[in-house]
Amino acid sequence: MLNYLLKRLATIVPTLFFVSVLIFGLQQLLPGDPAIALAGEDRDPSVVAYLRAKFHLDEPLPVRYWYWLSGVLHGDLGESVRIQKPVMELILEKLPVTIQLAAMAMLIALAIGLTAGVISAVKKDTAWDYAANVFALWGLSTPNFWLGILLILLFAVELGWLPASGYVSPFEDLGANLAAMIMPAFVLGNAIAAVLMRHTRSAMLQVLSSDYVRTARAKGLNERVVVLKHALRNALIPIITLGALEFGTLLSGAVLTEQVFSIPGFGKLIVDAVFNRDYLVVQGVVLFTATVYITLNLLADLAYFLVNPRMRV
């Protein structure tokens, strides 16, 4: 056990190293001189020169990487060139928004995915199974930016029930906050529901055919009790651990969803920064999310390991 844990932990360092090289490389290789992109409409040569010097843009790549890395190792992710704010501050500012969005999306995904998964497992190979499958799949198959636009049109413009976009802090006005977040959360959750539905279905099928459930049934328990109390509860652990791995999908989806709904979270932060060549922001935020992702991965692995110690990844 301890051995496995240590082994797993030991892989984190090289992985993070490669993450840092990857995003640094990608970001630095982007065409378009950040200094020119950031120097504004006038592109005054003295400003360009100043930005070049300030961000070491004229130095060779490894040197620049070293500047960045040594900063990161000291907990300094650098500063946004565009708005002169430390990247760490930006991350902390956006973190609650993204966490809320992700949590709400996950809740919606669980609600849809679990229901559809349980139904399709219980009613295996019937029209119900097929319908649940298609229903879950529709989420996986809808481009989320398109769904977002359609929802805005319907609920904000035509019906006027929800605000079109924007973000209100929950501490300011919880109602307004939920009203603004429900559409983007649905759009995001929708996409993950399908994955969760599949996990639920296969986990449920496995549990339903186990001796344990057979015994419960043999005892003459109500089928509903068997399914919900005995089977689902046992199937939940793998579902939730696998669900945690969908965090990456969530962030990917958030990129466009946040763009469409003007939600000031990580996705919007990264995309705008890529296009503005505010490269320290891109590097810092991606490194941060990657770290979170890897940590979640590790926790999920450990949970899995605890549940099923025979398993070796």
Partner 1 sequence: MKWLAFAFLFFATSVNSQTLRIGLAEDPDVLDPTMARTFVGRIVFAGLCDKLFDLDEKLNIVPQLATSYQWSSDNKSLVIKLRSDVTFHDGETMDAAAVKYNLERHKNMKGSNRRGELAVVSSVDAIDASTVRINLAAPFAPLLAVLTDRSGMMVSPKAAEAAGEKFGAKPVCSGPFRFVERIAQDRMVLERYPGYWNKGQIHFERIVYQPIVDATVRLANLRSGQLDFIERVAPSDIPSIRNDGRFKVAKIVEIGYQGITINVGKSDMAQKNPLGKDARVREAFELSLDRDAIVKVAMDGEAQPGNQWVAPSNQYYGKSAPVPKRDVERAKQLLREAGAPNPSFTLMTPTTSDAQRIAQVVQAMAKDAGFDVKIQSTEFATSLNLADKGQFEAYVLAWSGRADPDGNLHTMLACKGPTNYAGYCKEDVESLITQSRTSLDPAQRAVAYDKIAQQVAKDRPIVYLYHRHWLWAHTTKLSGLRTVPDGMVRLQGLKMN
Partner 2 sequence: MFGFAIVTFFVVLALFAPWLAPYDPVATSWSAVRQAPGAAYLFGTDELGRDVLSRIIWGARASLLAGVVSMCISVACGVPIGMLAGYLGGWVDALISRITDAMLACPFLILAIALAAFLGPSLTNAMIAIGISATPVFIRLTRAQVLAAKSEDYVEAARALGNPHLRIALRHILPNIAAPLIVQATLAIAAAVIAEASLSFLGLGQQPPAPSWGSMLNTARNYVDQAPWMAIWPGLSIFLLVLSFNLLGDGLRDALDPRHK
Contact between 186 and 253 under an 8 Å Cβ cutoff? The reply is no
Contact residues for 118 (Cβ-Cβ < 8 A; gap 6+): 200, 204, 227, 228, 232
For residue 265, the minimal CB distance to partner 2 (Å) is 12
Residue 264 binds to partner 1 (criterion: CB under 8 A): yes
DSSP result, 3-59: HHHHHHHHHHHHHHHHHHHHHHHHHHHSSS-HHHHHSTTT--HHHHHHHHHHTTTTS
Name the residue nearer to partner 2 (CB basis): 155 or 293: 293
164 binds partner 1 (CB under 8 A): yes
From residue 260 to residue 299, what is the string marking binding to partner 2 with x (rule CB under 8 A)? ----------xx--xx------x---x--xxx-xx--x--
Distance between CA atoms of 283 and 302, rounded to whole angstroms?
28
The correct pick among 5, 7, 11, 50 for binding partner 1 (CB under 8 A) is 50
- Binding residues for partner 2 restricted to 70-129, rule: CB under 8 A: none
76 counts as binding partner 1 under rule CB under 8 A: no
- Chain centre to alpha carbon of residue 40: 32
45 sits near partner 1 (criterion: CB under 8 A)? yes
State the number of binding residues for partner 1 (CB under 8 A).
51
Binder of partner 1 out of 142, 165, 210, 291 (CB under 8 A): 165
* Biggest alpha carbon–alpha carbon distance for the chain: 83
Which residue lies nearer to partner 1 by CB, 47 or 245?
A: 47
Distance CA 60, CA 176 (A): 49
**Residue 6 or 218 having the CB closest to partner 2:** 6
CA-CA distance, 189 to 207, in Å (whole number)?
A: 26
Rounded Cα distance, 27 and 64, in Å:
12
Query: Contacting partner 1 (CB under 8 A), which of 12, 33, 291, 292?
Result: 33
Binding site for partner 1 (CB under 8 A): 30-34, 36-47, 50-51, 54, 80, 82-85, 90, 93-94, 149, 152-153, 156-157, 160, 162-167, 259-262, 264, 268-269, 272, 275-277
